[in-house]
Amino acid sequence: MSRATVSRVVNGVRNVAPGIQEAVREAIARTGYAPNQAARSLVTRRTGAVALVLSATGGSFTARLFSDPFFGRVVDGVLPVLRERAVQPVLLVSESEPARLQLVDYLRRGGADGALVVPLDEDDPLPGMLVAAGLPTVLFGRPRPGVRCGWVDLDNAAGARLAAEHLWAAGRRRPAVVAAPESAPAARERLDGFTAALAARGAVAVPVERGRYTEESGRDAMARLWARDPGIDAVFAANDLMARGACRFLAERGVAVPEAVAVVGFDDSTAARDAAPPLTTVRQPVEEMASAMARLLLARLDAGTPRTGSRLFEPVLVVRESA
Amino acid sequence: MSRATVSRVVNGVRNVAPGIQEAVREAIARTGYAPNQAARSLVTRRTGAVALVLSATGGSFTARLFSDPFFGRVVDGVLPVLRERAVQPVLLVSESEPARLQLVDYLRRGGADGALVVPLDEDDPLPGMLVAAGLPTVLFGRPRPGVRCGWVDLDNAAGARLAAEHLWAAGRRRPAVVAAPESAPAARERLDGFTAALAARGAVAVPVERGRYTEESGRDAMARLWARDPGIDAVFAANDLMARGACRFLAERGVAVPEAVAVVGFDDSTAARDAAPPLTTVRQPVEEMASAMARLLLARLDAGTPRTGSRLFEPVLVVRESA
DNA sequence: GACACATGGGAGAGCGCTCTCCGAAACCTT
DNA sequence: AAGGTTTCGGAGAGCGCTCTCCCATGTGTC
């Protein structure tokens, strides 16, 4: 029996007589034969694997990676979609400059058919490098300008609007914002969406201070806001950790949350649930976004077209005790 | 210029005139050429990648995976060793039966040159499957009987002895044990090591109850011990979570820790540090063990021999407040 | 019963590398 | 200067698959 016939049976194509099929399968099972992926890839130009890249530009981040439940949610969303299509999910971490270069090299050489990238930092060069290498890529979060690839993202402006409307409806008329660094598009949308929604309701200029996503920086930003205007009755923070920082400052000053000042966070991370008081926050459907990301990539691989689709998700306001 | 010359330059072998080398490198840089890994693997029978497999037999464990800092420590230990050798680390998760089969298939086809496996459950069939498939494998923890592969492990008996000696030196003469399921070799060693060390000092029979590694099961085991003998003045638990459970039971009964009953855990996980009171516990050097695991695998791949070495690590007692 | 037509399965090219040969050229040595 | 020795680089086989031909059968039609 020729190799061609075996190949046909293994790949389930063309018409092979049932008897022969049976014999081939039996032989495969008996000998424990496994086709050589390298040889197969050489001709099919497919590896059957897709990379899920967790990338950061800052130093040692495996501690962050394996303690922030966010990544677990991403993985949970991605795995079932790939498994169903018999595509092997491969996790890669890019935590330093040499790691990034090695990783790009690995993928350029054909380590995987495509990449799902979760960048932690806005200035991460990795997505641009992968796209430049011609690798089908889908990002969690919109790419930097000039990088053309698929993405999934949250409608940050809509989320900010939800927060604004909630605070307004609760009678808060002197809100402030603890924003994130200006460079981040998502951060800009959250800020602009919030101020625009309030302006539409006739609110005057909203005081803004910026943090760097950490709890400590949120605390400091809140301190600056308070110094500028102790009449503030609500705070919208660009993420949950900074919202916690704001709460901590207010607690230190003996300001009651939410009675005197209402606080709304963003993300609905576990940090929001575990905060004191539990944070009212804007939720992103991470698992759904992650599985959509996987589906977008698979669709592109199937189609073979150079363009990848994108999808914007709607946020939901989760009301707890802080506002 | 022939392909052979280019190949020689890329792989840095044999004598190629410096001028030619320069020209080749320049051309590679200019055209952005990346060698096809599949073609290369086909002839070298190497992929240049090593799998780090995180495996569990129970259901959804990505939540556990991305919240237990243990895995982050393992990854931190493995990555630098592989990077230094320009081997691409590839994380694979095996969280269900179909995932396991797909993963074994992927590796059997040549997805990676070897596997570093971190099994969470003692009855995990994955290591045996990989070894049977002929894949160079190194385990975190000793393999089940009959599975011949390399491993790194902690000298559990020595750790248990440290705990026993610490409690004895503190004047505790009526200790009890919250042990793990009998099936686990590590668990058996911890129990036997503890009782043997005490017997050597003339202690009478030590009461033992078993838990299933969780805090809740530790609490229940402690309750059974207490029902058997409320005169117990010390407890040695086979892991930190069960030690916490024991503390919780004692707190519920108003029994002071460590004044009335001293508690010693095992692992020195963050659960130990965050416990109330902070746990005295036996520490495993996870990062070191993980990098040793990577080195053992690389050594085997270099040597090409079918046998892989193993290494046993010495535990250290970390004294905090619970004993 | 002769033809067209569908169907099963073999032969063989070729995917893009590596690496062993081997010939050509440069360099010593006596 | 003639031979031996080393150095450099080309030719070409072959890694283990897939997939396109193409021929040998089997099936249907008038």
Residue-level pLDDT, tens digit, chain B, 323 residues: 666 777 777 666 666 677 777 777 778 788 888 889 999 999 999 999 999 999 988 765 676 677 677 888 899 999 999 999 999 999 999 988 999 999 999 999 999 999 999 998 778 999 999 999 999 999 999 998 889 999 999 999 999 999 999 999 999 999 999 998 887 778 889 999 999 999 999 888 899 999 988 888 999 999 999 999 999 999 999 999 899 999 999 999 999 999 999 999 999 987 898 888 999 999 999 999 999 999 999 999 998 888 889 999 999 999 999 99
Give dist(CA B12, CA B1) in Å, integer: 16
Sorted by sequence, the CB contacts under 8 Å of residue B96 that are 6+ apart come out as: B59
For tokens 């890249």, name the residue.
A53
The pLDDT assigned to B80 comes to 95
**A41 chain-B contacts, CB cut-off 8 A:** 38
- The answer to whether the beta carbons of residues A230 and A195 sit under 8 Å apart is no
> Nearest residue on chain B to A66, judged by CA atoms?
B66
Task: Give the β-pairing of A137-140 and B49-55.
Answer: unpaired
Cβ neighbours of A145 (radius 10 Å): 7
User: In this complex, is the C-beta atom of B61 within 8 Å of any C-beta atom belonging to chain A?
Assistant: no
Give dist(CA A64, CA B66) in Å, integer: 9
**A39 chain-B contacts, CB cut-off 8 A:** 38, 42
- Angstrom distance, B197 CA to D30 C1': 98
Of B38, B41, B88, the CB nearest to A106: B88
Name the minimum distance, in Å, from the CA of B63 to any CA of chain A: 6
DSSP string spanning B223-285?
Answer: HHHHHH-TT--EEEESSHHHHHHHHHHHHHTT--TTTTSEEEEEE--HHHHTSSSPPEEEE--
Cβ neighbours of A307 (radius 10 Å): 10
Q: Is the pLDDT of residue A242 over 80?
A: yes
Give dist(CA A106, CA B223) in Å, integer: 54
Instruction: For residue B79, give the nearest of A129, A100, A104, A116 by alpha carbon.
Output: A100
- Angstrom distance, B135 CA to C10 C1': 34
Question: Strand C: which positions are within 7 A of a protein CB?
Answer: 7-12, 14-20
Give dist(CA A106, CA A130) in Å, integer: 11
Residue B7, nucleotide of least CA–C1' distance: C18
- The answer to whether the beta carbons of residues A282 and A159 sit under 8 Å apart is yes
H/E stretch holding A267 reads strand A262-267
The pTM assigned to this predicted structure is 0.85
- The answer to whether the beta carbons of residues B297 and B150 sit under 8 Å apart is yes
User: In this complex, is the C-beta atom of B273 within 8 Å of any C-beta atom belonging to chain A?
Assistant: no
Instruction: For residue A50, give the nearest of A302, A250, A312, A305 by alpha carbon.
Output: A302
Give dist(CA A82, CA A290) in Å, integer: 11
Give dist(CA A275, CA A224) in Å, integer: 22
Name the minimum distance, in Å, from the CA of B65 to any CA of chain A: 7
The pLDDT assigned to B135 comes to 95
Give dist(CA B28, CA B319) in Å, integer: 58
> Nearest residue on chain A to B36, judged by CA atoms?
A109
pLDDT category, A153, cuts 50, 70, 90? very high
Provide the angle, in degrees to the nearest 10, between the axes of the packed helices B37-44 and A37-44: 150
User: In this complex, is the C-beta atom of A29 within 8 Å of any C-beta atom belonging to chain B?
Assistant: no
The pLDDT assigned to B262 comes to 97
Residue B14, nucleotide of least CA–C1' distance: D8
Provide the angle, in degrees to the nearest 10, between the axes of the packed helices B3-11 and B18-31: 90
CB contact under 8 A, B39 and A37: no
The pLDDT assigned to A13 comes to 59
CB contact under 8 A, A108 and B34: yes
Interface of B with A in 171-190 (CB under 8 A): none
Tell me which protein residue sits closest to nucleotide D18, measuring alpha carbon to C1': A43
Q: What is the pLDDT of residues A172-225, one digit of tens each?
A: 999 999 998 887 778 889 999 999 999 999 888 899 999 988 888 999 999 999
pLDDT category, A164, cuts 50, 70, 90? very high
Q: Is the pLDDT of residue A60 over 60?
A: no
The pLDDT assigned to A16 comes to 67
The pLDDT assigned to B2 comes to 63
CB contact under 8 A, B106 and A93: no
Q: Which of B11, B45, B85, B88 to mutate to test the interface with A (most CBs of A within 10 A)?
A: B88
